[in-house]
Amino acid sequence: MQAFTYTANPARIIVGPGSLARVADEIRQLGCSRALVLSTPFQREQAEQLNRALGELGAGVFSKAAMHTPVEVTQQAMVIFTEVGADCVVALGGGSTIGLGKAIAYRNDTPQIVVATTYAGSEVTPILGQTEKGMKTTLKDASILPEVVIYDAELTLGLPVAMSVTSGLNAIAHAVEGLYAKERNPITALMALEGIRGLKDALPALVERPDNVEARNNALYGAWLCGTVLGTVGMALHHKLCHMLGGSFGLPHAETHAIMLPHTAAYNALAAADVLAPAAALFNGELGGGLYDFAKSLGAPVALKELGLVEADLDRAADLAVQNPYWNPQPVERDAIRALLQRAWGGLRPE
Ligand code: NAD
């Protein structure tokens, strides 16, 4: 075994259908009494219901959370937070809503409870990506990490199947990159493999029957583990490419991860086959091709052109991909990345 350093992020994790009912107790346990409930416009009704159920502990709803955490939205939320006399936030939603809660906590250190309703994993990371005047910056700070995370599968029954699938593949991508991360260690490897296994079993079951609460619960369990890996070790080529495609070409977060994962896994299997072998075994012994077949069987998009990227952009994307590269097990070479992007654009199975 290699020598290693493992730093765990503190977390209180509550898993189970119906656990939304625990929010009130968790607010009190944090020593708080006025929670501002956060959501996107799409989940406003769910947030309103929670605020009503909280009674005196509910200070109101702010439902303008948006993708990539725009700073002007955070500033509006900070004004409301003060106006209603809030002393904590409850973020109900996926990465966009969680990002808003984190952005508030980064500014005023308020305690955060997250009720996570996608599989993106942001709830267990001390990382915040925010945008101002079109520029995205990423911060890491202890104040950003939510104190309490609740995974209630009943709230994910309304997550459309297509989003469930791409979000689940987004989670698997954290774990795959965690397996070969420079800071990997035996604990993150255990979490990564168990997270991949959980989602690999849960996603086909929930595609078959979207109201399968057990499959939804298992998917959240897998997402928690994969997200924890994301929050503990550094990410590599896969996340670099997805951030570049999202930031410079406006491609959607989860779908981009879903399409790129088989290709980046195949690329890095060239240098990290040993540490990826247990994950490859879950996908017929071939991680890249196996993940591609898996994604296709679930009805996920497999081609960047399906997301609106035009072929003429691939050269610029390859140039951007090799600028300020993240650490990666396989050397990041422009021609190889250009070829990878071409296959991902056309929706071909990775070589
Ligand atoms: P999202 O939060 O943007 O959600 C997409 C849409 O689905 C929203 O309208 C949301 O309200 C809706 N939705 C969410 N859960 C639902 C449910 N159960 N039922 C019905 N509708 C639901 O999507 P996401 O993929 O979770 O998050 C993406 C964002 O999170 C990106 O901005 C990404 O950069 C960020 N992110 C950050 C980290 C981190 O560690 N900082 C990690 C992962 C993702």
Q: What is the band of 321 on the pLDDT scale with cuts at 50, 70, 90?
A: very high
321, 341 Cβ separation under 8 angstroms: yes
Mean per-residue pLDDT, 222-248: 96
For range 106-125, the mean pLDDT: 98
Q: What is the tens place of the pLDDT at every residue in 252-287?
A: 999 999 999 999 999 999 999 999 999 999 999 999
User: 2: pLDDT confidence band, cut at 50, 70 and 90?
Assistant: confident
Query: Is the full-model pTM beyond 0.85?
Result: yes
Among 9, 74, 118, residue to substitute to test ligand 1 (most atoms within 8 Å of Cβ)? 118
Could you report the per-residue pLDDT of 186-211, keeping only the tens digit for each? 999 999 999 999 999 999 999 999 99
pLDDT per residue as tens digits for the range 295-314: 999 999 999 999 999 999 99
pLDDT at 134: 75
Among 27, 74, 86, 76, CA closest to 53 = 27
Of the residues 44, 45, 67, 220, which should be mutated to test ligand 1's pocket, given the most ligand atoms within 8 Å of the CB?
Answer: 67
Both tokens of 31, joined, read: 């020593």
State the SS3 of the chain: CCCCCCCCCCCEEEECCCHHHHHHHHHHHCCCCCEEEECCHHHHHHHHHHHHHCHHHEEEEECCCCCCCEHHHHHHHHHHHHHCCCCEEEEEECHHHHHHHHHHHHHHCCCEEEEECCCCCHHHCCEEEEEECCEEEEEECHHHCCCEEEECHHHHCCCCHHHHHHHHHHHHHHHHHHHHCCCCCHHHHHHHHHHHHHHHHHHHHHHHCCCCHHHHHHHHHHHHHHHHHHHHCCCCHHHHHHHHHHHHHCCCHHHHHHHHHHHHHHHHHHHHHHHHHHHHHHCCCCHHHHHHHHHHHCCCCCCHHHHCCCHHHHHHHHHHHCCCCCCCCCCCCHHHHHHHHHHHHHCCCCC
Categorize the per-residue pLDDT at 136 as very low, low, confident or very high, splitting at 50, 70 and 90.
confident
Whether ligand 1 lies within 6 angstroms of the CB of 254 is answered as yes
User: Given the CA of residue 254, which atom of ligand 1 is nearest to it?
Assistant: 25
Is there an atom of ligand 1 within 6 Å of 93 CB?
Answer: yes
Q: Where residue 325 falls among pLDDT bands split at 50, 70, 90?
A: confident
What structural domains does the chain harbor? 12-156 (3.40.50.1970), 161-346 (1.20.1090.10)
- Of all residues in the chain, what percent carry a pLDDT higher than 70? 100
Residue 337's pLDDT band (boundaries 50, 70, 90)? very high
* pLDDT tens readout for residues 80-102: 999 999 999 999 999 999 999 99
| 328, pLDDT greater than 80 | yes
Q: Which of 37, 39, 42 to mutate to test the pocket of ligand 1 (most atoms within 8 A of CB)?
A: 42
Model confidence at 75: pLDDT above 90: yes
pLDDT at 1: 76
pLDDT confidence of 130, banded at 50, 70, 90? Answer: very high
Ligand 1 in reach of 156 Cβ (< 6 A) = yes
* Cβ 264 under 6 angstroms from ligand 1: no
Q: Which residues contact 43 (CB under 8 A, 6 or more apart)?
A: 63, 92, 93, 97, 117
Token pair 């109101």 is found at 60
Q: Residue 133's pLDDT is what?
A: 85
pLDDT grade for 154, boundaries at 50, 70 and 90 = very high
Task: Quote the ligand 1 centre to 269 CA distance (angstroms).
Answer: 29
* Lowest model confidence (mean pLDDT) among 24-28, 202-206, 322-326: 322-326
Q: How remote is the CA of residue 96 from the centroid of ligand 1, in Å?
A: 5
